[in-house]
Structure 1
Amino acid sequence: MNPISAGLRISPVYTAPQRAADSSIGVQAPAATTSGNVTLGQTRNDNDGYTYPSRSTATTASYALEQDAVDKLSLSLLTGVQGASLGERVRGVGAALVEQLVLKGGTSVSQSALRYAAGAEPGAEAVKLRGDSLRHAPDNAISLSLTTASGATITLSLASDDNGLAVSAEVQGGELNAYELKGLATLAEGFQAAIDGLAQEPPSLKLDGLVSFDSNLFKSLQMNASLRTASGEPQVFDLSLDDKARNLSLQGPSGNIRLDLDTRDSSLLGNAGQRQAAIDNYLQQFDAAQKRGNGDKDLMNLFKDAFVQLNRVDDGRLAKEAVSPQGRNDRLLLSGLADFSASIGQPAKSVNPLLPGETDRFDYRVSQSTTAQGKALSSRSIQQDQQSSLDAAWHVGANPQVPLALSKDYKSQNYSYHEITDEAKSSTRLGFNKDNRLVEASATQQASQNERVRSYVDGVLSSETNTPKSVSQTRNLLGLLDDVLQRERISLREKGVSVLESLLAGKRDEWWLQGDPAKVASR
């Protein structure tokens, strides 16, 4: 038979070596088994004895590597290409790619593992061409790009389909020094965790290990993914981080989420207790909106995870002004979080053929913006606005024991149609004179809700109700804050202990965002 020259090629179905528990860079080549052996880096004939027994007598296949290698990356690819799901195929591959790039000192990396029908083993050139084709037109694509402080750009790419995995990594615009290589290595597991989360069904966001990159070494980070879900529908993820902004978006079958943080002004960041309290308050608002608008709980959990993880980046870089009396007083009524705008939405669906305008939908938006005027040694003020809106609608069957199945048959038209329209806003304002004395402290909370319900019996409208609620409260908080600051000064003078956070902890519901009119009225 004709000789075959190429990388590693195994037939029929190769049982890939299991990954070692040790995550260190580089692995030992697997020992040859009694049923065959693997020959690397030389010309082989079909009779060379590199055939492994099949795991199944019903299905046989061959596997080929683009490059001759027995390293952690190649073994991860050979294991992954046999996976039944996307999650199984990409497991460990992202981390191995980062580690291989670090091991090679930043020199380019390119490798692929491909599946072929038994007996259809290609030559080396055909393997390379197919690997390149997979990189250019994959079913699933994931990339990570980092810009170093010295100006070099690191790009890592993963591509896959049902019959192959291809990866590449390169450094352009400079070389990586030892510190940058070490910093890159620390992101390996974080990159893999992010990949694993997105490849799950349903997806999850696991970004903590990735977004906490060393900003002294890297100026920016971008991660992009375009994945095919189990249902065949696309899922697109984009993440971008630098010293000015953090942006995240996820578009998938269940809906879309987007979060944009403005990180240019770190002087408004609060202490850990203040920030956690603000996050908890926002999460309560998100949960209440999901429950009230009958939103998708899994999608809302993704939204919440994105909000927490992108804000958590600031926990390690709290502003220096946080320890100064002036900076601390500036943030008395603020959330302590970076300004942001965010949205979560589910695609509108027309589920009633008789009334197609009655769409099931969920759209929630929330934002925060802060404006500061004036400077130290002059009159100055700071204002923060928080706002949210909810637009949602859904159908509920008249008989909860019977699944709703609306059709053109009027006998199926027994249901109620719920529509929600809610808005909330909170504005806080602090004013100081030229002596840095607090002379103004006010808060206004507004919340309005309306639920419209139309009920039908055999397609005939039987009732319609509207339930509006609206509350607005404006409070003068100057006396409260004067008292809090006086008690803080006494504690610092007599005990050397700050009590500011504990004194404010139980009061913030009076000025932070509240979507429920009843909670605004009860304060």
Structure 2
Amino acid sequence: MNPITAAQRLAPVLTAPQPAPASASNPTGIASVSAVPSTSVILGQSNTISDSETYSRQGLLPGQVRYVWEKDSQDKLATTLQTAFQSSSSAGRFKGIGAALIEQLAQNGGKNISQSVFAFSDDSPIDPGVLKLQQQRLRENPDSGVTFSLTTASGATIRLSLASSEKGLAVSAEVEGGSLSSEELKGLGNLADSFQSTIDGLNEVPPQLKLGALVKLDPKLFSSLQMNSKFESLSGEQTFSLSLDDKARSLSLQGPSGQVQLSLDTQDAELLGKSAQRKAAIDNYLTQFDAAQRRGRGDENLMNLFKNAFTQLNSIDDNRQPAVQSPTALNDKDRALLSGLADFSASISETTRRSNPMRLDETDSFTFSTSQSTTVKNRGLQDRSVEQNQQSKLTASFHRGLNPLTNLMLGSDRESQNYSYHLIDDQASSTTRLAYDKGQLVEASATQQASQKERILTYVDGHLKSDVTTPKAVTQSRNVLNLLRDAFEQDRIAQRDRGVSLLEGLLQSQRSRWLLQTDPSKIAA
């Protein structure tokens, strides 16, 4: 018996795609997703049905899934939605959807998009009001979701939304406050892959930051961007936020292992140095971040996220258009002792753990913060001054076994209590100052400071055997006035005789004297 049953539905009911034999027209052997006619449902790949197989009113075999759509459509977005929805992992729920949504919005000229799909495994009739309520709840309170807002230079705002739950998946796209030009539509389409790579990267284990073109917007087309996401996984909830405009950039990522935060003040573009100067500063910071992670035994994956965030947000300036030089603007000489980066504040903090059941006051923790601030006085005048301060702070604590050949397994028995407990408290700073009097350079100084303190408590069979604190501190102040005067003079001659500037090359080997250094032993005399 092979009955064909009538079905009433609010939107096309789709059965899960079934494998099909490979052929020349269908080399993959995967059936296309298509709407089942409302008057009939054809089930399975075989014309033979055993007596034990019982059909529902909707023509479904027991356990078979039907899909109810918000709108009848067989476009690429709908196909991508069903493929992603059938993914067995929550991480795969948004696979390809972000790119497909942007591409469809760009291709249809910016017309609003709204689509959702829900899975049902029973044959209960679907009430339109209930379905609408489910769609609303999914969009307002998803288990996992992504929102994306992009403002164009002309004033229009593009809003995207992706929402997922156990039984549903929904997307929407709309344009507010104006229409999109052909150039803006093309620019939007160019962001599709980077939007998708960002989503995919955040869903990797461990998470990765793959922001791509999202952090390199064309200012002629777009003025600001905001992206937020929340993902649920077996290990816990992860949230992400990215915000960019012409005044500030910020990124925040928080998950089960800890959080990363970064904020850049980009209002004063005159502080930015040339590419080589900025690269030297970024490389130096990354070196300090690695040193902090090793010293405090921080989570390597979380630190990699921190480093990637720092690198990618600062790389926005690599291809910036040079500003028109005005009489009141800072020049390369004024920036000689600066990092060349925008002012910022950044921090990384691991989730605190209590790994010793016998001493719950002993925590395993890692927190590192760093920042840069710059002050310019009498900008453009002949008695101007520029001062920049870079600083960092590390606090960490961890347990280490006394026997390097065995893993530390702390328990409630004294035999397991053979370990050293380390508490780290480090601080570092670098201050540079450059000043003019009546147009003549009269001051150029650099001060580096670093202090490290480690307290080590050693326990044998649960008994405290030693408590030792080791402090280190170094402060080095330098007058680099003659160094800069010589560099400026050589650069002047090179520009006069050969039409080229040598200033950056002359300063490059000297920057270790004033960039941030967190290790006292590496601050040269």
Question: By the TM > 0.5 criterion, same fold?
Answer: yes
Match of 1:222 among 226, 248, 270: 226
The 2-side partners of 1:39 and 1:251 are apart by: 40
Q: Which residue of 2 aligns with 1:374?
A: 378
Match of 1:49 among 36, 39, 42: 42
Q: Are 1:85 and 2:89 matched, yes or no?
A: yes
The 2-side partners of 1:2 and 1:403 are apart by: 65
Moved more, 476-485 or 158-167: 158-167
Following superposition of structure 1 onto structure 2, how do residues 149-160 of structure 1 map, counting pairs within 5 Å?
Answer: 149-160=153-164
The 2-side partners of 1:36 and 1:411 are apart by: 62
**Secondary structure of 2:467 counterpart:** strand
The 1-side partners of 2:81 and 2:416 are apart by: 52
Moved more, 165-174 or 250-259: 165-174
Q: Are 1:200 and 2:204 matched, yes or no?
A: yes
How big is each residue's C-alpha offset from its partner over 1:83-105, in whole Å with a ceiling of 9 and x where there is no partner?
Answer: 12233221110011111112222
Q: Which residue of 1 aligns with 2:111?
A: 107
Match of 2:320 among 309, 317, 322: 317
Instruction: Report deviation, 1:37.
Output: 8.1
Do the aligned partners of 1:266 and 1:319 also contact (CA within 8 Å) in 2? Answer: no
Match of 1:171 among 167, 170, 175: 175
Instruction: Report deviation, 1:61.
Output: 2.5
**Secondary structure of 1:215 counterpart:** coil
Instruction: Report deviation, 1:320.
Output: 2.5
The 2-side partners of 1:32 and 1:463 are apart by: 71
Instruction: Report deviation, 1:152.
Output: 2.1
Q: Are 1:396 and 2:390 matched, yes or no?
A: no
Match of 1:143 among 141, 147, 158: 147
Do the aligned partners of 2:34 and 2:74 also contact (CA within 8 Å) in 1? Answer: no
**Secondary structure of 1:141 counterpart:** strand
How big is each residue's C-alpha offset from its partner over 1:35-77, in whole Å with a ceiling of 9 and x where there is no partner?
Answer: 988654x9612x3427668xxx996433333211111111110
Instruction: Report deviation, 1:125.
Output: 6.3
Compared CA separation, residues 36 and 355, structure 1 to 2 (3 A): closer
Q: Which residue of 1 aligns with 2:366?
A: 362
How big is each residue's C-alpha offset from its partner over 1:352-398, in whole Å with a ceiling of 9 and x where there is no partner?
Answer: 22221111100000000000001324301000000000000000122
Do the aligned partners of 1:387 and 1:513 also contact (CA within 8 Å) in 2? Answer: yes
How big is each residue's C-alpha offset from its partner over 1:243-302, in whole Å with a ceiling of 9 and x where there is no partner?
Answer: 110011111001001000000000110000000000000000000000110000000000
Compared CA separation, residues 399 and 58, structure 1 to 2 (3 A): farther
Compared CA separation, residues 302 and 215, structure 1 to 2 (3 A): same
**Secondary structure of 2:433 counterpart:** strand
The 2-side partners of 1:10 and 1:186 are apart by: 32
The 1-side partners of 2:476 and 2:158 are apart by: 52
Compared CA separation, residues 179 and 457, structure 1 to 2 (3 A): same
The 1-side partners of 2:127 and 2:34 are apart by: 15
Moved more, 80-89 or 357-366: 80-89
Compared CA separation, residues 37 and 198, structure 1 to 2 (3 A): closer
Do the aligned partners of 1:293 and 1:391 also contact (CA within 8 Å) in 2? Answer: yes
How big is each residue's C-alpha offset from its partner over 1:93-147, in whole Å with a ceiling of 9 and x where there is no partner?
Answer: 0011111112222221011233222656847766554333321221101010112
TM-score scaled by length of structure 1: 0.90
Which amino acid in structure 2 is aligned with residue 65 of structure 1? W
The 1-side partners of 2:325 and 2:254 are apart by: 37
Q: Are 1:477 and 2:480 matched, yes or no?
A: yes
The 2-side partners of 1:288 and 1:65 are apart by: 53
Do the aligned partners of 1:452 and 1:464 also contact (CA within 8 Å) in 2? Answer: yes
Which amino acid in structure 2 is aligned with residue 340 of structure 1? F
Aligned residue pairs: how many?
A: 504
Do the aligned partners of 2:19 and 2:30 also contact (CA within 8 Å) in 1? Answer: no
Match of 2:503 among 490, 500, 503: 500
Do the aligned partners of 1:36 and 1:51 also contact (CA within 8 Å) in 2? Answer: no
Which amino acid in structure 1 is aligned with residue 266 of structure 2? T
Do the aligned partners of 1:157 and 1:169 also contact (CA within 8 Å) in 2? Answer: yes
Do the aligned partners of 2:355 and 2:410 also contact (CA within 8 Å) in 1? Answer: yes
Match of 2:241 among 232, 238, 243: 238
Do the aligned partners of 1:321 and 1:327 also contact (CA within 8 Å) in 2? Answer: no
Compared CA separation, residues 38 and 201, structure 1 to 2 (3 A): closer
Q: Which residue of 2 aligns with 1:213?
A: 217
Which amino acid in structure 2 is aligned with residue 505 of structure 1? Q
Q: Which residue of 2 aligns with 1:416?
A: 420
Q: Which residue of 1 aligns with 2:101?
A: 97
**Secondary structure of 2:506 counterpart:** helix
Do the aligned partners of 1:455 and 1:463 also contact (CA within 8 Å) in 2? Answer: yes
Q: Are 1:253 and 2:246 matched, yes or no?
A: no
Match of 1:185 among 178, 185, 189: 189
Compared CA separation, residues 441 and 411, structure 1 to 2 (3 A): same
**Secondary structure of 1:462 counterpart:** strand
Q: Which residue of 2 aligns with 1:22?
A: none
How big is each residue's C-alpha offset from its partner over 1:455-509, in whole Å with a ceiling of 9 and x where there is no partner?
Answer: 0011110112111110000000011111111111122222222221211111100
Unpaired runs of 5+ in structure 2?
Answer: 47-60
- How many percent of aligned residue pairs carry the same amino acid? 50
Moved more, 506-515 or 99-108: 99-108
How big is each residue's C-alpha offset from its partner over 1:287-338, in whole Å with a ceiling of 9 and x where there is no partner?
Answer: 0000110000000000000001101111122542689995111110101000
**Secondary structure of 1:94 counterpart:** helix
Q: Which residue of 2 aligns with 1:269?
A: 272
Q: Which residue of 2 aligns with 1:63?
A: 67
Moved more, 108-117 or 465-474: 108-117
How big is each residue's C-alpha offset from its partner over 1:381-429, in whole Å with a ceiling of 9 and x where there is no partner?
Answer: 0000000000000001222333322233222211110111100000000
Do the aligned partners of 1:259 and 1:340 also contact (CA within 8 Å) in 2? Answer: yes
TM-score scaled by length of structure 2: 0.90
Which amino acid in structure 1 is aligned with residue 487 of structure 2? V
Compared CA separation, residues 313 and 174, structure 1 to 2 (3 A): same
Which amino acid in structure 2 is aligned with residue 462 of structure 1? K
Which amino acid in structure 2 is aligned with residue 306 of structure 1? A
The 2-side partners of 1:499 and 1:33 are apart by: 60
The 2-side partners of 1:10 and 1:51 are apart by: 13
Which amino acid in structure 2 is aligned with residue 249 of structure 1? S
Do the aligned partners of 1:5 and 1:43 also contact (CA within 8 Å) in 2? Answer: no
Instruction: Report deviation, 1:441.
Output: 0.4
Compared CA separation, residues 349 and 35, structure 1 to 2 (3 A): closer
**Secondary structure of 2:521 counterpart:** helix
The 1-side partners of 2:18 and 2:122 are apart by: 11
Runs of 4+ with >4 A deviation: 12-16, 30-40, 50-53, 118-129, 321-326
Q: Which residue of 1 aligns with 2:309?
A: 306
Q: Which residue of 2 aligns with 1:279?
A: 282
Compared CA separation, residues 445 and 37, structure 1 to 2 (3 A): closer
Unpaired runs of 5+ in structure 1?
Answer: 19-29
Instruction: Report deviation, 1:218.
Output: 2.0
The 1-side partners of 2:322 and 2:264 are apart by: 16
Compared CA separation, residues 59 and 374, structure 1 to 2 (3 A): same
